Amino acid sequence: MIFNRRGVMNRESPPSAFNVALVDHGATDAWKALLLIFDLVKHAETKAGLTLAASGASGGVVYALISGMGRENIVFQAAAWLCACLVIAAACSAGLALLPRRRTNPEPVNLLYYHHIARHYSGRSDVYARELAALMKNSDDLVAAIAQQVWSNAHVAHQKYRWAGHGLNALLAALAALAVAAAVAVL
């Protein structure tokens, strides 16, 4: 099976083991739910990535302010150090949102989870193709496997949103402290 960079299959036909039609709408709806959760994970990662980038930019600005200002003003020092600490907290939180987490089960069980596929079927794509084809033919098992992935990815999305939210809150507080430090620096 050949995929381009966007994950879309090229016009070549897939191997015969993958030529399986989904039996009912339950599996189709389950796939849609999984795609929705994937989109939420991507959204949380985008939010965390932007927070990380903004933290870096804010850190550069506060560094420039600190290095250009004398040490005589206590309000400036307090605001600048508070800003620096909050920028570090924002960057760390955003980094935790982006950090991959893989819980390892002793025995890989899900035919739809990349880590289980890589661990259990390493070098045996033909065995994987047969087992996946059998899963695709059994609508109830397929929906159960997809539901397991939806559940797992929903937990991943929840954690990513939580850390991205903490990072964004810290960044907003850092920007407020930066505004105070900048105002004191120019006055």
What would the mean pLDDT of 111-135 be, rounded to a whole number? 84
- The lowest-confidence range among 23-32, 69-78, 175-184 is 23-32
**Res 141: pLDDT:** 87
Residue closest to 132 by CA, chosen among 104, 102, 148, 112: 112
| Alpha helices by DSSP H, 15-124 | 25-68, 74-98, 114-120
- What's the pLDDT band for 108 if we cut at 50, 70, 90? low
| Alpha helices by DSSP H, 69-138 | 74-98, 114-120, 125-137
Considering only residues 90 and 131, tell me which one the structure prediction assigns the higher pLDDT. Answer: 90
pLDDT digit string, tens, across residues 47-71: 999 999 999 999 999 999 888 776 6
Query: What is the rounded average pLDDT for all residues in the chain?
Result: 83
- What's the pLDDT band for 102 if we cut at 50, 70, 90? low
Q: Quick one: tokens of 104?
A: 């390892």
> What letters, b where the CB count within 10 A reaches 16 and e where it falls short, cover 118-143?
eebbeeeeeebbebbbebbeebeebb
Spatial distance between the Cα atoms of 137 and 20, rounded to a whole number of angstroms: 7
**Res 5: pLDDT:** 46
Residue 18 has pLDDT above 70, yes or no: no
**Res 104: pLDDT:** 61
What would the mean pLDDT of 143-165 be, rounded to a whole number? 91
What would the mean pLDDT of 12-28 be, rounded to a whole number? 53
